[in-house]
Amino acid sequence: MKRHLSLLILTALFCAVLPHARAAGRVSVRFYDEASGRYQEEVSTDLVALTLDGVPLTPDGSPALVQYIEVNGRTLVPVRTVAEALGATVSWIPENRQVILLREGSTIVLTLGSATAVVDGQQVSLPGGVPAGVVMYREQESTMVPLRFVSEQLGAEVEWDGAAFTANISTVAQPLPEPDPIESPVPEPVPTPGFSAGADRGFVTGISSDSDAQTVTVRTDHLPDYRVLDLGDRVVVDVLGAVLSNGETEVVTIPVDNDLISTVRYSLHADDLGYGYPHTVRVVLDLESGITYAKNLRVEAGAGGVKVSAFPSEGERNPVHFVPSVPLDPNKSTIVIDPGHGGSRSGAVYPDALGNDIMEKDLTLSMSLKLRDILRTAGYNVVMIREDDRDVDLYERADIANAVGADLFVSVHCNASGTVPTFQGIYTYHHPESQRGALLAQAIQTPLCAVTGAIDRGINDADFVVLRETEMCAVLVETGFMSNSEELSRLCDSAYQARVAQGIAEGITQYLNSLKK
């Protein structure tokens, strides 16, 4: 009864705001809840028609629609539909769940699920508290953004036609008023609004190290202006006109699991580095002995920040002479299992329910050993990158797989989110250029999620070292999020680990059988 009463009240309020409004139709969708990491129940909501300067604008994927939060309703549209129509470029930063819009030096950052946005480095509340988010429509996902907010930030106007239930976007500039005939003094030039030389450009929102990709990423909410200084045993990356979004002012050292970079330090500087900006964020990467910027590092930037990639030069890679602990039968398929991390490289570390630190390297080894036993029982050759707690270089892992002429390479890892502790689920990665890798990833992902009951986050591509340098079909399985207490508890459970191993083994068998067919 309360639910029906609430619906009647909501309808009455909506009709009071739009007394003659008649929706263009109804549509059933599912809204994604960023906090829980799940789609909500399917709901029916109103369709909205769009025009741009009087011409109908038809979105790809999901249509424009209304999302109601309590009594607030806001029109949401697929981000590329409105942004690209208004001349902006769209970038997606999956690590932060952020959409970045760039146009003529202006930067808009929308974080999915957040009621605030960052516009040219300034926090701005979204009208009605309705955030950007993901919508499932007819089994297709679309990233949706608030129409009026994004349009107005990109210099357009939106008028609501209640009778036609249509949002009219207008980019036509209004005529300027006639000048006052009375002569007045010539005003001083006024700087163009936004960031420019002499003012800061935006925020550095985070600095992180990815052990699988062997990269260090300086994330920004704008297209960064940066400089690189080669100081021999260390490399400096200066992000000009930037401040730290966390407000940190002291030198911070972050842990890195990198074969060529020993430590990463960063700090905020004032205008003491001679760049002409009020602030600069300086990031210092200390290099291992014998490593140089010229031979071993690549620095590149995009809308989401600056990425430093580390890789050994050809002359530094020694040939691997690897002898499997169990002789290989040439008539059987050979599968290399790579338990992630090991030795001094612990991977992610999170406390369990009793406060004991759980290390990723221990979980991956335990699951990999169970997978080894299942595959050997099924009649496969199995080569383990490590069967105990020891260091193995990322490139050496790939070299071992190449040396034994493996048919498949499966790297086992655990995931973590430093910003969303509620996030759960399984991902399986393949290299962007490997079509067979994508098939193997999906073949593993489907039974793995079915057997474990974990959230299916799908497959994705990534330029991880062990996926790029292996010569055979290779995947990397992120078995769950250690940063989520529930999922960490399951990952520590031996019976659950056995189900993980079973799911991966079933996927491997299905994939190999499909090749034979």
Other C-beta atoms within 10 Å of 405: how many? 12
User: Two tokens at 364?
Assistant: 């991956």
Q: pLDDT tier at 131 (50, 70, 90 boundaries)?
A: confident
Residue 406 in this model has a pLDDT that exceeds 90: yes
Average pLDDT across the chain, whole number:
84
Better-scored residue on pLDDT, 3 or 308: 308
The answer for residues whose C-beta is within 8 angstroms of residue 260's C-beta and 6 or more apart is 214, 287, 288, 291, 296, 297, 310, 311, 312
Residue 375 in this model has a pLDDT that exceeds 90: yes
Q: Which of 16-20, 36-40, 238-242, 430-434 has the lowest mean pLDDT?
A: 16-20
380 burial via Cβ count (<10 Å: 0-12, 13-18, 19+): buried
Residue 14 in this model has a pLDDT that exceeds 50: no
**Per-residue model confidence as pLDDT tens digits over 460-469:** 999 899 999 9
pLDDT of residue 392: 93
Please give the domain boundaries of the chain with CATH numbers for all domains. 22-170 (3.30.457.10), 202-312 (2.60.40), 325-516 (3.40.630.40)
**Per-residue model confidence as pLDDT tens digits over 341-358:** 999 899 999 999 999 999
pLDDT of residue 516: 67
Better-scored residue on pLDDT, 15 or 65: 65
CA–CA separation, 2 vs 194, rounded Å? 49
CA–CA separation, 31 vs 186, rounded Å? 54
**433 among known catalytic residues:** no
Contact 66, 8 (CB under 8 A): no
Q: Which of 141-155, 194-208, 352-366 has the lowest mean pLDDT?
A: 194-208
For 175, phi then psi, to 5°, come to -65, 140
CA–CA separation, 74 vs 390, rounded Å? 54
pLDDT of residue 46: 85
DSSP codes joined into one string, 500-514: HHHHHHHHHHHHHHH
Residue 8 in this model has a pLDDT that exceeds 70: no
The answer for residues whose C-beta is within 8 angstroms of residue 418's C-beta and 6 or more apart is 206, 208, 483
pLDDT of residue 222: 87
Q: pLDDT tier at 45 (50, 70, 90 boundaries)?
A: confident
Q: pLDDT tier at 182 (50, 70, 90 boundaries)?
A: very low
**Per-residue model confidence as pLDDT tens digits over 228-266:** 999 989 999 999 999 998 888 899 998 888 889 999 999
Q: pLDDT tier at 35 (50, 70, 90 boundaries)?
A: confident
Q: Residue 411 in 3-state DSSP? A: strand
**Per-residue model confidence as pLDDT tens digits over 457-500:** 999 999 899 999 999 999 999 999 999 999 999 999 999 999 99
Span 298-308, average pLDDT: 88
Other C-beta atoms within 10 Å of 467: how many? 26
Instruction: Report which DSSP code applies to 191.
Output: P
pLDDT of residue 172: 62
Q: pLDDT tier at 452 (50, 70, 90 boundaries)?
A: very high
Q: pLDDT tier at 192 (50, 70, 90 boundaries)?
A: very low
User: Two tokens at 44?
Assistant: 């029916």
CA–CA separation, 69 vs 128, rounded Å? 8
Q: Which amino acid is at 247?
A: G
Q: What percent of the chain has a predicted confidence (pLDDT) above 70?
A: 87
Other C-beta atoms within 10 Å of 367: how many? 27
Span 377-392, average pLDDT: 96
pLDDT of residue 181: 44
Better-scored residue on pLDDT, 445 or 68: 445
Rounded to the nearest 10°, the torsion over CA 439, 440, 444, 447 is 40
Nearest to 477 by CA among 466, 485, 487, 469: 466
Span 400-413, average pLDDT: 96
pLDDT of residue 469: 93
Identify the active-site residue in 34, 396, 469, 478: 478
Q: Are strands 202-210 and 261-269 parallel, antiparallel or unpaired?
A: unpaired
CA–CA separation, 154 vs 214, rounded Å? 37
